[in-house]
Structure 1
Amino acid sequence: MGSESPGTLDAIELSLLSRYLAHTSRTIPFDDLDLYALSVGIPNLAFNSKPVMSSLIALAAACKSHDVVNTAQSPLAGQTIMEVQRLLELAENHHRASLQYIQEAVSNSIWYDNVLANAALMVLYASASHSIRVRLAAIARRSGKELPNNVLPQHSQWITFTRAAHTASSAVLSGLLNADMNRNATTSPTVYKSPNPTSAILTPQNGPSEDTKRLFIPLVTSTYGRALESLRRKVESVADSSKSQEGPGLHNLDLDACLNTLPTLEKCAFSALSGECSDEEPNLSNDTPIVSGEYSRVSSWVANYMLSVTSMTAPKALRRTIMSFLNEAPAEYLNLVQSVLDSSSVVAYTGDWVARGSPKGEMQPLDTTHLLAMDIFAHWLVLVMLLDGVWWIGGIGRWELGQIVSLMKTQELPNQPADTKETWWPESMYLVNMELMPET
């Protein structure tokens, strides 16, 4: 199943492996299970699996790119950009090799540890790579400088890889959950026993920076309920109007996808803003049920780690609650969003949207369904802005929302009178966020 040894690593790869073990694997965990999986379990898999090692090195390279920019006297100095370019190119090469493996192996594996571990690393890498590109693009836009094309944000690829990794692992995990529930009907439950209990004091990067926690979250919390009610009325009104025009028995599948996404967004927002998520490291006692490797083709720690990070068990970390939207939203809906993101290109450093092949400043009008899809996505991105304290997410929420705000200014929003004095909620949250926490 492609579990061959990674072979000889060169000096740069060895350096990145060392960095992952000493640094990267300890900046991501939220709890002891995370810490074991990332710092012990996955590295041991990688030593016997070339694809897992490739994903590990790709994530370490993205992490180093963040640190290079953070410590540089000038983030856009030529030497800094060249170093980041080299790191991102190396990371992409390793990521592509790993992606090819997971696509080939997921359907015929008899032992899924490598597939699932690979998927988890791919999600982290996709976000980390996009995050550093977004940060550099934001800095370049403010300073009026240009960046090499291979350093710029790559549109919706971060969504594609996040969803692909989830799809690749969800079938395996669902099977494990079903088997475990059937087994536990007649046997006592297996419990989590930390393979390597640690007393290390972790600093979980759960989500918001201190300024966001103090200044921005209270504002979002006090306004999101009314905003989501308004969004629901808008989507339902358009759907009702469409059905009346199409006649009985006919359905606009894209509009149905938008309607079916609303409960996912509402659940995500409620969980994120109602206090259900914890800022503190959870207490993983020996009473926590898990799936046992004895009954499956997945090791216990792999199964439980993946059930947690994919939110198939109730997520506690704010970052997992919010990002679970990408896993739980209907695929048809995400296809609508990505078709817009990928059919339009951002003119870096200005934030203007330009349709491919059209003159600067001209944007082809979107149909009502695509506008509704982007409206829903923009509301979710307000939640993603709450995760600015997580290094591998950082400014993704604000950057992506800024692009959509620019896009929507060129469009006529459905069911919104032109003379209305009410500001579109995602835009108002974006402007307030920029005012409260200027980009550095």
Structure 2
Amino acid sequence: MDDTTEHKTRRPHRKSRNGCTRCKERRIKCDELTPRCSRCHRMNLDCQYVKRQPFAEDAADPIDALLLQLQVSPHPGSPESSGHESASSPLSTASSASLLVPRHEKRPGSPLRMTHMQTLAPAELDLFKHYLEHTSKDLTVDEDDQYTLQVGIPNLACQSKPLMRSVLALAAICRCCDMIGQPDPGRAQVAELLALADGYHMESLREIQATLPKVKQYDHVLANAAMMGMYGSGSHRTRIWLAQTAHPDAPYPMPKHSQWISLFRAAYLAYAGLLPPESPHSPAAFDYKLTPHLTSPLPPIFHPLSPLLAATITPALAKLHAKSLTLPAGDPDVAACQTALTLLTSVAARAFAPADPSPTVDVEIDPGAGRLAEVSPWLRRYTASITSMVPSRLPRRTIMAFIHKAPAGFLGLVEDMISLMQAAPGEGAAEGPGVAHRFAMEVFAHWLVLVVLLDNVWWIGGIGAWELGRIVQFRRGCRWGGDVWGGGDWWPEGMWEVARQFERFRGP
């Protein structure tokens, strides 16, 4: 055969040299439509085009100029303030309330450090921008959180690759939750974003475990733990949605219940690990230092079911306390459950306490001479607040304090029961779990009723109702040696039924 007949020339085509950053990263052809190319439009992705310099088509993609010019604005009126703000910086816009430096702490403005930022791929830059412009603002509640989430942590992330990976993971999960809330979310796109977030999270875990023994960068450790806590619950919420919307012929793996609890508790353990080992103070009873700044009282929980829970939780917990007195004395597992129940009672009392018209004062932990003294004051205050080391005005932190402060032995019993729920339905088993395990699950279920009230927090969503529903179904079907565990009226089950019916009829 002639050589000319064997050779096949390529079909004439035009290279997409000016395609969007998404298509370039995926190495696929871009149709270069504006404002969003067809592929990004179909997958509901942010579509961005790089502005190129003349005669530089073959050069590497430049770093987004907007991110390279980020500035930290000093506190208005401070001596360090130069009066100049970058107009292009999202960190210095009026919409972010000028990003006040936290009270009691003023510092000069400084450019966002670029140590690791210059190595980000275009898609990673896009996620980092999403964190700065959307995720961090969703999480912000006061000026301390503004500085921590919008300025402090992004600056640290640009110095620490593991922390940057955690920030990117949280931003990707934020996008997942945004898509879940849309009328017609695409499961494939959500699953793809979740896989991307999981990859960043695992990279961060590996890198921080490798560097932790060598480097005493406590700011990076605490900030990373805070990001992972929100990532854990946000990714758990996303997995729940994927499991609920899966086709019967292609079921999605059920989420592991205890994983999100472990990640949420990580910030508390990291903070407690920086306290002096010889300190006579336990983390929960560490010295508080009053500051003169006045704050508003604890706001009420704005949820339709809040009045019902407030009116019924006290007798429900009293019934549980009475049951705890019938359990074997001297058993360390039972003692851990009783401690958890006492903690839950105090959490519920604070969550549903009547509004106090008198103002309260902020409290700040005194680091003393331990490693905690090496942590930046703004991050020390923020971590103490989210881990419930100091009282918080936010109902979500009041309710989630249960996970931070519950005894490790109690959480171990809960994890055992969760593993049992996932392994088998329980019916027909010759021997079931002991009374301590069952009582631990009862206490945990009572707490989950409170978590139902947090379904408007984007990184929590419907976790409470879903987890509680699985426990209710498991409890109904359990038979161990003729013992019907699910007999009688049960307050968590009743509240779950009410929440389920409310969700059914309240509409979109």
TM-score of the aligned structures, taking structure 2 as reference length: 0.66
How much has 1:4 moved relative to structure 2? 7.1
Output the CA distance in 2 between the equivalents of 1:101 and 1:173: 24
Letter in 2 for 1:404: I
Does residue 435 of structure 1 match 2:506? no
Letter in 2 for 1:166: Y
Letter in 2 for 1:432: V
Segment of structure 1 superposing worse, 9-18 or 120-129:
9-18
**Kept after mapping to 1: 8 A contact 2:232/2:263:** yes
**Kept after mapping to 1: 8 A contact 2:300/2:352:** no
| 404, 412, 415: which one aligns with 1:338 | 415
Return closer, same or farther for 1:272/1:118 CA change in 2, 3 Å cut-off. same
Return closer, same or farther for 1:129/1:266 CA change in 2, 3 Å cut-off. same
| Residue aligned with 2:181, SS | helix
| 325, 341, 349: which one aligns with 1:236 | 325
| 315, 322, 325: which one aligns with 2:402 | 325
| 464, 469, 476: which one aligns with 1:402 | 469
| 106, 127, 131: which one aligns with 1:20 | 131
Segment of structure 1 superposing worse, 102-111 or 224-233:
102-111
| Residue aligned with 1:92, SS | helix
Aligned residue number for residue 376 of structure 1: 443
Aligned residue number for residue 45 of structure 1: 156
How much has 1:258 moved relative to structure 2? 0.9
Does residue 263 of structure 1 match 2:342? yes
**Kept after mapping to 2: 8 A contact 1:277/1:317:** no
Return closer, same or farther for 1:263/1:121 CA change in 2, 3 Å cut-off. same
Aligned residue number for residue 11 of structure 1: 122
Return closer, same or farther for 1:20/1:290 CA change in 2, 3 Å cut-off. same
Does residue 304 of structure 1 match 2:362? no
CA deviation map 1:253-282 (0-9, x unaligned): 21121112111111111111114699xxx9
Output the CA distance in 2 between the equivalents of 1:37 and 1:51: 17
Does residue 90 of structure 1 match 2:196? yes
**Bigger Rg, structure 1 or 2:** 2
CA deviation map 1:148-204 (0-9, x unaligned): 43xx422211011122332122222578x999xxxxx9xxx89699xxxxxxxxxxx
1:191-340 → structure 2 map (5 Å cutoff): 213=303, 215-239=304-328, 243=329, 251-275=330-354, 289=364, 296-340=373-417
1:35-114 → structure 2 map (5 Å cutoff): 35-73=146-184, 75=185, 80-103=186-209, 109-114=215-220
Aligned residue number for residue 200 of structure 1: none
Aligned residue number for residue 154 of structure 1: 256
Letter in 1 for 2:197: A
Return closer, same or farther for 1:13/1:19 CA change in 2, 3 Å cut-off. same
CA RMSD of aligned residues (A): 3.6
How much has 1:219 moved relative to structure 2? 0.7
CA deviation map 1:205-237 (0-9, x unaligned): x895x5xx2x31111111111000100111221
| 221, 234, 242: which one aligns with 1:128 | 234
Output the CA distance in 2 between the equivalents of 1:418 and 1:49: 50
How much has 1:100 moved relative to structure 2? 3.3
**Kept after mapping to 2: 8 A contact 1:45/1:114:** yes
Output the CA distance in 2 between the equivalents of 1:276 and 1:104: 47
Does residue 34 of structure 1 match 2:111? no
Identical columns (%): 38
**Kept after mapping to 2: 8 A contact 1:277/1:318:** no
How much has 1:411 moved relative to structure 2? 3.0
Segment of structure 1 superposing worse, 3-12 or 47-56:
3-12
**Kept after mapping to 2: 8 A contact 1:310/1:324:** yes
How much has 1:328 moved relative to structure 2? 0.4
Output the CA distance in 2 between the equivalents of 1:108 and 1:191: 36
**Kept after mapping to 1: 8 A contact 2:392/2:398:** yes
Return closer, same or farther for 1:417/1:94 CA change in 2, 3 Å cut-off. closer
Return closer, same or farther for 1:192/1:4 CA change in 2, 3 Å cut-off. farther
Output the CA distance in 1 between the equivalents of 2:249 and 2:314: 40
**Kept after mapping to 2: 8 A contact 1:123/1:165:** yes
**Kept after mapping to 1: 8 A contact 2:478/2:485:** no
How much has 1:307 moved relative to structure 2? 0.9
Higher helix share: 1
Letter in 1 for 2:495: M
**Kept after mapping to 2: 8 A contact 1:192/1:289:** no
Output the CA distance in 2 between the equivalents of 1:298 and 1:260: 31
Unaligned runs of 5+ in 1: 180-184, 194-205, 244-250, 346-353
Output the CA distance in 1 between the equivalents of 2:388 and 2:172: 26
Return closer, same or farther for 1:399/1:418 CA change in 2, 3 Å cut-off. closer
Aligned residue number for residue 269 of structure 2: 167
Aligned residue number for residue 199 of structure 1: none
How much has 1:41 moved relative to structure 2? 0.5
CA deviation map 1:10-66 (0-9, x unaligned): 122111111000000000122111111001100010011101101100000000011
Return closer, same or farther for 1:207/1:66 CA change in 2, 3 Å cut-off. farther
Aligned residue number for residue 222 of structure 2: 116
How much has 1:407 moved relative to structure 2? 1.1
Letter in 2 for 1:126: G
Return closer, same or farther for 1:425/1:174 CA change in 2, 3 Å cut-off. farther
Return closer, same or farther for 1:271/1:139 CA change in 2, 3 Å cut-off. farther
Letter in 1 for 2:260: W
Aligned residue number for residue 367 of structure 1: 434
TM-score of the aligned structures, taking structure 1 as reference length: 0.76
Letter in 2 for 1:67: D
How much has 1:365 moved relative to structure 2? 3.1
State the number of aligned residues. 377
| 424, 432, 451: which one aligns with 1:355 | 424
